[in-house]
Amino acid sequence: MFKLAGAIINRIRRMALADKALVLFGAALVLIIVIALTVAWLRMSALVSSGELQLSRQMVDSWRAAAPDMPPPGEPADRLGITAAWYDTESAHDHAEGDPFIRRALARFEREGAPRVELQDHTWRYRWQILTRTERTERYARAIRGPSIPGAEPDQPPTPGPLLGLIVLERPAEGAAWLMAVNAIYLLNAGAAVLAVAVGLFYVLLHRIILKPVDVLRQGVDKVREGDLAHRVDVQTHDEFEELASAFNNMLATLQTNEQRLRNARSALESRLSELAEANKVLFEANRLKSDFLANVSHELRTPLNSINGFAELLLEIAQASDQGVEETPEKRAKRLRYLQYIHTAGRDLLEMINGLLEMAKLEAGRFELNVQAVSVPTLCETLSGLVDPLAQRRGIELVQHVEPDLPVIETDPKKLQQVVFNFLSNAVKFTGAPGSTGPMRVELRAERLTDANGTDRVRISVIDNGPGISHEDQERVFEKFTQVDASRTREHAGTGLGLAIAKELAGLLQCEIQLVSDVGRGSMFSVIVPLRLDLGIVQERRVEAQFRDRLAGRRDWSDPKPDPAD
């Protein structure tokens, strides 16, 4: 308590003069008004209680006069519309254990020396209906005694007779509650009006003479502290305050001149540094991307091109031999067909790499379109299984499908979602059975419902394989562009490393979440968690952001594309 009071006093000491005067004077006025209102409130409460006590006495008298006999002890009886209960001493003591009011009444009525005849008490109850309603309940107890015992001396007052029982009356006092509320409103309004008038008069008198020029100077100091050196104070009192304001303004003019010189020099320096930093960042990123592209893509493009050229030369030799009259044997015919198949495969791989590069470029430039449709997850999984199953059978891999029957219909772009899951499936088939794989030659496609902590339903589509797995340090790298876990030039599986990067970009576009659970020697599980509905506003924001980044990088303006012969 003392610490709190000390903290309040220290806070008042640190206040400005105007605030300190208003706070102290206002606190004194509030204290005086509270004391006056408290006295009036106590007097009003005493008057209301006295009126309610008189009314309770009359109601008990009327209740007793309505019938000469008392009802059974402890049972409320209604007489003339008045409900009261009669308790003999035995039943009163039994009810006193659970009723504090009866217990206090017995203690008062059985007091030795100066027993009382009645006891009144009231309780408040708040009921919340259309408006807040307050009810007051009055409880009244009257003692019923036997004949008085005359005093031993003629001038000695008689002794009250023994206690036979008591009558307890409980009734609502709606008028008293309303009267208390109205009187409280009047008292509060009167106190507020007096306080407002007193504070207003004090404020006007003190403010015009002393506090106004002091407050103007204080505001000027605050503005300067915030860095506004252009602010000037205007005090016209023709006294020492005006002289102080003039000196303050002269000081600000000098500070402003010096500050402006420093600001101009700093602004020029910061602008130059910002331009250099931005240019350096763009150059570094462009150089890194160029190096990555040349290091990864050139080798991947060279491999199918060498195959095409080599087998084309062999076919040319066969054709030249035929022109010279050399008879074509069945073995040469089979070899020519095999060479043509190699050329076709290499050309297809080359086209797939180029398409991947173009797809990534369009996604990064924001040149994409969404065709949102209602998609059945079981149908989508069935289609994907049909696409991948021939490749899996050629490699001797079993493709297993587990789809929950009650999956909800989702609204998304089915082709882009199919491309994400197809990438997972093709990678799983490609790496299952590779060195380091464990378990059977099997790939599992699973679809299930997820419900998060907020009750939002989503669908998770997972691809599980028994491949060699991915180490924890490589799991973040596999989604980067031009990155593969096996980055050597002699790796078994070719590719530009764009598949998972494109899948990540497409998943972000579809507002999905990609999860990877894997460990070396234990296989991998790639999952995409799909929302039931797409937020088209977020899609548009992502498109605008990608187009803006693309323009900053100085690449082609995909927002107004030229006709693409491949489209």
Instruction: Please give the backbone phi and psi of residue 465, each rounded to the nearest 5 degrees, phi first.
Output: -130, 170
Q: What is the pLDDT of residue 147?
A: 82
**Domain boundaries of the chain, sorted by first residue:** 8-147+161-184, 267-365, 369-552
Spans of the chain, pLDDT less than 70: 1, 13, 16-19, 21-22, 113, 124-134, 151-152, 174-180, 205, 209-210, 282-283, 285-307, 311, 314-315, 317-329, 332, 336, 342, 344-346, 348-368, 481-497, 546-567
Give 443's DSSP letter: E
Q: What is the pLDDT of residue 446?
A: 93
pLDDT in tens, 395-415: 889 999 999 988 999 999 888
Torsional sign, CA 372, 374, 377, 379? negative
Provide the greatest CA pair distance for the chain: 167
User: In sequence order, which ranges of 238-328 are alpha helices (DSSP H)?
Assistant: 240-323
Pick the closest to residue 323 from 335, 331, 315 (CA basis).
315
- Put simply, whether the predicted model's pTM sits higher than 0.75 gets the answer no
The length of the chain is 567
CA 447, CA 463: separation in Å to the nearest integer?
Answer: 9
Q: What is the pLDDT of residue 482?
A: 58
Q: What is the pLDDT of residue 183?
A: 76
Q: What is the pLDDT of residue 400?
A: 92
DSSP SS3 for 168: strand
Q: Which CATH architecture has domain 8-147+161-184?
A: 2-Layer Sandwich (3.30)
User: For residue 465, what are the contacts with CB-CB under 8 A and spacing of at least 6?
Assistant: 428, 429, 431, 432, 442, 443, 444, 523, 524, 525
Q: What is the pLDDT of residue 563?
A: 44
Q: What is the pLDDT of residue 488?
A: 41
Spell 137-148 as b/e; 16+ CB within 10 A means b. bbbbbbbbeeee
Structure tokens of 186?
């009047």
Whether 547 and 558 have beta carbons less than 8 Å apart is answered as yes
Whether 60 and 171 have beta carbons less than 8 Å apart is answered as no
**Secondary element (H or E) of residue 23:** helix 17-66
Letter for the amino acid at 265? A
The CA distances from residue 362 to 31, 418, 479, 554, in Å, are 75, 18, 17, 14
Give 142's DSSP letter: E
Pairing of strands 373-375, 163-172: unpaired
CATH number of 369-552, picked from 3.30.565.10, 3.40.50.970, 3.30.530.20, 3.40.50.920? 3.30.565.10
Q: Which CATH architecture has domain 267-365?
A: Orthogonal Bundle (1.10)
Other beta carbons within 10 angstroms of residue 464's beta carbon come to 20
